[in-house]
């Protein structure tokens, strides 16, 4: 009985020790950064293009009374902001103007298009266009995978990962993938968080609807196997202990 207990303890100790060794892992970003001040390039965040199914908020106003009166009449509840969704044909529908093609345009280009269209009905119209949402998804070896939504149009891949709780101990910082789709065209962009060149890369900022996937390391499967083995060994030795007690009764 004592030998069996010692054997159980020894096996459990070995398994736990192995698991602890595998789990001990420090994540280091930008390993090649020097200790001195580093000047970084000025990176322009991507200018997102309007896509099908985008929610767009359009604000129309003006200093002229006729403009304000028109807006109060046609916009709901006297509001000067209209929320519209880009249809499958890439169009939105606005009061008096009808359908206008906006898919593939930047916000600035859409603003100019709507402003020029409203000049036929409004005196000196002032138009603002903004996206109603900025969503992205983080999957894989992060602490809080899921879909996130922010109010601004400028977010880096580091900020996106931080919102997901950062990488777990099993995440591979040198093997992060960004899955991006723009107007039906998809691409996979590799990102290496250990390389300082990312700080000067166009991929430093993410786009709306990006999917960030952090690939797990092989250590995760090893640890899971060891944990599973420990469970089986503990159950088996417990069963043997019970049988041994029963046979001695």
What per-residue confidence (pLDDT) applies to 224?
54
8 Å CB contact between 151 and 195: no
Q: What is the pLDDT of residue 249?
A: 60
* Domain 55-131, CATH: 3.30.1950.10
Q: What is the pLDDT of residue 6?
A: 47
Second CATH level (architecture) for the domain 134-216:
Roll (3.10)
Residues of the chain with pLDDT under 50: 4-7, 24, 222
Distance from C-alpha of 152 to C-alpha of 178, rounded to nearest angstrom: 19
Q: Is the dihedral of CA 128, 181, 53, 112 positive or negative?
A: positive
Tokens encoding 196: 């300082």
What's the sign of the alpha-carbon dihedral 203, 204, 207, 210?
Answer: positive
pLDDT at 39: 86
Three-state SS across 97-135? CEEEECCCCCHHHHHHHHHHHHCCCCCCCEEEEEECCEE
Cα–Cα distance, 219 to 170 (Å, whole number): 7
In the sheet with 126-131, reading across from the earlier edge strand, the strands are 81-85, 55-61, 126-131
pLDDT digits (tens, 9 = 90+) for 108-127: 999 999 999 988 888 888 89
pLDDT of 106: 93
- The CA distance from 249 to 77, in Å, is 85
- What are the domain boundaries of the chain? 2-24+220-248, 55-131, 134-216
Q: What is the pTM of this model?
A: 0.71
pLDDT confidence of residue 200: 93
Looking at residue 198, its pLDDT comes to 94
């Amino acid at each position: 009985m004592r030998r069996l207990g010692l054997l159980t303890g020894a096996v459990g100790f070995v398994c736990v020790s192995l698991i602890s060794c595998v789990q001990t892992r420090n994540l280091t970003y930008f390993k090649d950064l020097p200790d001195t001040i580093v000047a970084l390039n000025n990176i322009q965040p991507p200018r997102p293009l309007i896509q099908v199914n985008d929610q767009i908020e359009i604000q129309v106003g003006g200093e002229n009374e006729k403009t304000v009166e028109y807006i109060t009449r046609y916009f709901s509840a006297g509001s000067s902001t209209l929320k519209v969704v880009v249809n499958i044909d890439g169009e939105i529908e606005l009061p008096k103007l009808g359908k206008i093609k906006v898919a593939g345009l930047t916000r600035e280009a859409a603003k100019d298009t709507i402003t020029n269209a409203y000049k036929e009905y409004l005196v000196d119209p002032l138009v603002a266009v903004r996206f109603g949402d900025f969503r992205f998804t983080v999957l894989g070896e992060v602490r809080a995978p899921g879909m996130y939504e922010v109010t601004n149009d400028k977010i880096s891949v580091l900020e996106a990962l931080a919102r997901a709780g950062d990488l777990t101990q099993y995440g591979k910082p040198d093997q992060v993938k960004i899955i991006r789709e723009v107007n039906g065209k998809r691409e996979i962009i590799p990102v290496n968080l250990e390389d300082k060149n990312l700080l000067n890369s166009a991929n430093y900022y993410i786009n709306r609807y990006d999917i960030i996937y952090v690939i797990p390391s092989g250590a995760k499967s090893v640890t899971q196997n060891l944990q599973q083995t420990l469970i089986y060994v503990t159950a088996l030795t417990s069963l043997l202990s019970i049988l041994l007690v029963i046979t001695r009764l």
